[in-house]
Structure 1
Amino acid sequence: MIIIRIIVFLFIVLTSNLVNSQKKKIEAITIPTESHTVDIVVEQGTPRFHRKSDNHFLAGEHIFIKTKLNRDTDIANSYYPTAIRSIGLFKNGYKDGLWKTTYENKLVKTQNYNNGLVIGRYRVYNNNGDVLYKITFGSQGNGKYKDYYYNTGTLKEEGQYENGKKQGEWCRFDEEGTLIESIDYRKGVPIEKE
């Protein structure tokens, strides 16, 4: 019953935003229903986002909400306090400008983009607001990327950016710090292992 209420609420929000889109930025909340799913296409190593329902590239401000109800189910729902929310702008399907990520309603990450390419300042914080990692990728988008589990400070992901795109080996870790995935990239494109 609560899921139906949430979907109705989100439909009203999305509909009113589309009607008022001439006056302000379009705001959308992605939810895991067929009509609101966002797909990512990697074009020349740069992620580009589009709505699955109509295949239009995203534009304006969007809020992505993701939370885990259990280990097997992902639900995007703002009513869950542990939701991870990423808020930022899209331009023609590419992330653009400053993106902020919150966890348990606290700022945990800031990252900058230019037409989908990583650039500028990057910061990761824990739930207490302490800096876990900071780097400036500069205007060319070069440097070491690290992300963490915000409640424990354990390394979650690391890899290198070159010219704003993933390059070389990227590793993901579980909450205990055990390596769970390693992918090699060349100019933002995963390389098939032989």
Structure 2
Amino acid sequence: MTAAEGSVSGGKKTGRWRYYFKDGSLQAEGDYSADEITGPWIWNRANGRRLQEGSFAAGLQTGHWQRWHANGQLMDSGHYVAGKKTGEWLSYDESGRLIKTRIFKS
């Protein structure tokens, strides 16, 4: 089980929360408001490299998001609006070479 630390108010998660791997390294960090995920969040892999990062509004993914391969190379990048991919998304292989461009309609 992942360890976590953060505040609870009225039985709901609020403010900054951090989640940790069993070894104590940071797995994820971001904010909650009345038990709803909000604002920028960052997730890490067990090896310490970044897994993904992006923001939430009203509990849905929003704005620019990125994910990385286990070796640290960018995997994909694009934007969300109200929890749905929109516009141009770019995907890369593990060597960093662009392998796919996809357009999502909002």
Q: 1:144 aligns with which of 5, 27, 40?
A: 40
Can you give the 5+ residue segments of structure 1 that lack an aligned partner in the other structure?
1-101, 111-118
**TM-score, length-normalised on structure 2?**
0.60
Matches within 5 A, 1:1-194: 102=1, 107=2, 120=14, 122-139=17-34, 141-150=37-46, 152-193=47-88, 194=103
Distance 1:189 1:109, change over 3 A: farther
- Deviation string for 1:55-106 (max 9, x for gaps)? xxxxxxxxxxxxxxxxxxxxxxxxxxxxxxxxxxxxxxxxxxxxxxx4xxxx
Separation in structure 2 between the aligned mates of residue 162 and residue 149 of structure 1, nearest angstrom:
24
Secondary structure, counterpart of 1:191 in structure 2: strand
Structure number with greater Rg is: 1
Aligned partners of 2:32 and 2:38 also within 8 Å: yes
Residues paired across the two proteins, number: 80
Aligned partners of 2:27 and 2:45 also within 8 Å: no
Separation in structure 2 between the aligned mates of residue 153 and residue 108 of structure 1, nearest angstrom:
16
In the other structure, the counterpart of 1:82 is: none
Shift of 1:165: 0.7
Tell me which amino acid in the other structure corresponds to 1:191.
T
Q: Which has the higher strand share?
A: 2
* Off by >4 Å, runs of 4+ in structure 1: none
Secondary structure, counterpart of 1:180 in structure 2: strand
**TM-score, length-normalised on structure 1?**
0.35
Secondary structure, counterpart of 1:144 in structure 2: strand
The structure showing larger relative contact order (alpha-carbon pairs under 8 Å, at least 6 residues apart) is 2
Can you give the 5+ residue segments of structure 2 that lack an aligned partner in the other structure?
6-12, 89-102
Aligned partners of 1:158 and 1:171 also within 8 Å: yes
